[in-house]
Structure 1
Amino acid sequence: MDQAALLREKMQQQQTTVCKTIAVVSGKGGVGKSNFTTNFALTLAQQNHRVLIVDMDIGMGNIHILLGKTARNSLTNYLQGECSIQEVIHQDEKNLDFIAGGSGMSSLLQWSDFMFERLIFAFNELQKNYDFILFDMGAGATEWSLQFMMSVHHIVVVSTTEPTSITDAYSMMKYIHMKDEEKDFYLVCNRALSKDDGLLTLERLKTTMSRFLAKEVLELGMIPEDLQVRKAINQQIPYKKRYPTCQASKAMDGIVERYLTNDLNNPIQLTQENQFISKLRGLFSKRRS
């Protein structure tokens, strides 16, 4: 009876915690996507959520640089069987860990079946220890990254006010939507020179998605161009930590608050959590066929 009670208690604890997987993407490079990911994750961690950043820009990853950390091992080392998954997890702040991308494998074609199996095993285990796993995807879109994005629960799309950035962000969302109409998108305008420009960018993307794809997306907000952000990057300290009261930090607080509010109102069901792994397995099977 004691064992049964302990088992029921363990199951209840597991049922109250569902790990959300989030892919942070941009249509083009240079929009500050990785910096957004770092500070978004830090803000979640500061609110006592257990957060892991996984740098999926293998070969060009820079999350560890933005955090001012040295990564002993990377995701590449793990995939190649050189270390365990525990050995690639590095701690930054309380509640915030990260996995560096590493280098040497820039193409999915270089991945063996062994690497895919290790990837799936790792993510299956990591979901047990975190509330949020953020995947910082490489800039642009490849067949591999697009397929991977379709496996996660949420997609945060980071754009700037530049027309090319807006166009590329829409193209990426359109492709994913055509493959999976249920996928949720969250919009962020980064480095806006003015509030009006930032809000206009978000409205343009939202309206275009609604008009041409009949898809509603959620605007998380805009982050202004802020000199303190550039200073923080040079100092290799997230601006949310180095300059917590700057305009960008205040904007990030609002973005995270809106995301969490929407997440609370639209919770992921327990049956949906394992869909991340099952979809990854589907990607693996598709590649093998």
Structure 2
Amino acid sequence: MRDQAENLRLRMLKEHGELGKSIAVVSGKGGVGKSNFSMNFSSVLAAKGKKTILIDMDIGMGNIHILLGKTIHSNLQDYLEGRCGVSDLIHEGPNGLHFISGGSGLNHLMDWSERSFAKLMEAFEYFQKEYDIILFDMGAGATRESLDLLTAVDEIIVISTTEPTSITDAYSMMKFIFMKDPDKDFYLICNRASSKAEGDETVSRISFAMEKFLGKKVFSLGSLPEDPAVSKSVKAQQPFSILYPQSDITFALKEIVRKFTNSQEETQPKGSKFLQKMKTIFFKGRG
């Protein structure tokens, strides 16, 4: 009965408009600037009129609210334990961006009770109805739980730097996800490039490896340069795209956003299967 009710709600949502797209931002290792990218990327998307919510999934190390200079009083764990409602989770960011702080609530996906999981699905369903884009800022590396979520989301943005270890880890992350879901769409970005040529070469190397060894094409979004505007904006607890609108990195980011939104418009819509996949993963894990 519950499954029938959930499917009915989803059909009703689709009839009243397309469900929001779920996108995860990942990296193979820490220290590549992933959270800063997620925050600025989602902020620019919001400024372009995309109703966007950023969900901090770096459990135990979440820092989106710190990067934004915000004090938060509720997180996903509070919601799952009944201490607040869905609306209490949502905090205001720049350019109309909304964001949610992480907590320990997603640490053990397969250990949740059905009640806790149902509450999470209720929240995610609400987000898909209310937002155009749900952006998950994932923790560095991979755990069983994070890989399950990555398998469920509609698309994945992978961040690498020019360092050989970062390139190898980014490829390994994509390969692992690809083996679970060959149809997953990947977007690739190089961060902290010393030059555009170096950034483009890094993206090209990873893309070539994906196509040669896995037969999988990925979308190249380009690169972001090493820029002092980043560290200055972190200290000021504001997005560099707002604090330094004329910086090289802001121009590069806006070009990445342009490529991303264009690719969304050019790609044949598949419809989001995020919630259905999450349910399948959860109940399979309990079987």
Match of 1:165 in 2: 166
> Is the counterpart of residue 177 in structure 1 residue 178 in structure 2?
yes
Q: Distance in 1 between matches of 2:215 and 2:32?
A: 26
Q: Residue type matched to 1:195 in 2? A: K
**Given residue 137 of structure 2, which amino acid in structure 1 is its aligned partner?**
D
* Map 1:1-289 → 2, pairs under 5 A: 14-15=16-17, 17-103=18-104, 106-108=107-109, 111-269=112-270, 272-273=271-272, 275-289=273-287
* Whole-angstrom distance in 2 between the partners of 1:78 and 1:154: 26
**Is contact 1:184-1:217 (8 Å) kept?**
yes
Distance apart, 1:59 and its partner CA: 1.4
1:46-94 Cα offsets, whole Å, 9 max, x none, are: 1011100011112111111111111110111112221111101111134
C-alpha distance in 2 between matches for 1:192 and 1:184: 24
Return the alpha-carbon distance in structure 2 between the equivalents of residues 104 and 232 of structure 1.
Answer: 30
Provide the C-alpha distance between the structure 1 equivalents of 2:285 and 2:69, rounded to a whole number of angstroms. 36
Distance 1:235 1:262 in 2: 33
Instruction: Name the CA shift for 1:89/1:11 in 2 (closer, same or farther; >3 Å).
Output: closer
CA contact (8 A) 1:56 1:137 kept: yes
Measured in 2, the distance between the counterparts of 1:234 and 1:161 equals 24
Aligned pairs, how many?
Answer: 276
> Taking every aligned residue pair, what percent have the same amino acid on both sides?
49
What's the CA shift for 1:143?
Answer: 1.1
Q: How far apart are residue 114 of structure 1 and its match?
A: 2.7
Q: What SS is found at the alignment partner of 2:190?
A: strand
* Contact 2:110–2:145 (Cα < 8 Å) also in 1: no
CA spacing shift, 1:57–1:115, aligned 2, 3 Å: farther
Kindly indicate whether the alpha-carbon contact (under 8 Å) linking 2:76 and 2:102 is maintained by their aligned counterparts in 1: yes
Amino acid at match of 1:215: K
Contact 1:39 1:238 (C-alpha < 8 Å) held by counterparts: yes
Q: Does the 8 Å contact 1:59/1:104 carry over to 2?
A: no
Normalising to structure 2: TM-score of the pair? 0.92
Secondary structure at the counterpart of residue 69 of structure 1:
coil
Conservation of the 8 A alpha-carbon contact between 1:58 and 1:76? no
Contact 1:59/1:105 (CA < 8 Å) preserved in 2? Answer: no
How far the C-alpha of 1:286 sits from its partner, in A, is 1.9
Distance 1:11 1:283 in 2: 22
State how far apart, in whole Å, the 1-side matches of 2:207 and 2:157 are: 13
- Cα distance between partner residues in 1 of 2:111 and 2:152: 21
SS at 2:216 equivalent: coil
Structure 1 stretches of 5 or more lacking a match?
A: 1-9
State the Cα distance separating 1:105 from its structure 2 match.
6.4
1:59–1:106 Cα contact (<8 Å) kept? no
Q: Deviations over 1:18-48 (max 9, x none)?
A: 4111000000000000000000000101101
Quickly say closer, same or farther: Cα 1:192–1:37, change in 2 above 3 A. Answer: same
Aligned partner of 1:101: which letter? G
Root-mean-square deviation (CA, aligned residues, Å) is 1.8
Give the AA of the match of 1:276.
F
Quote the offset at 1:95 in angstroms: 2.8
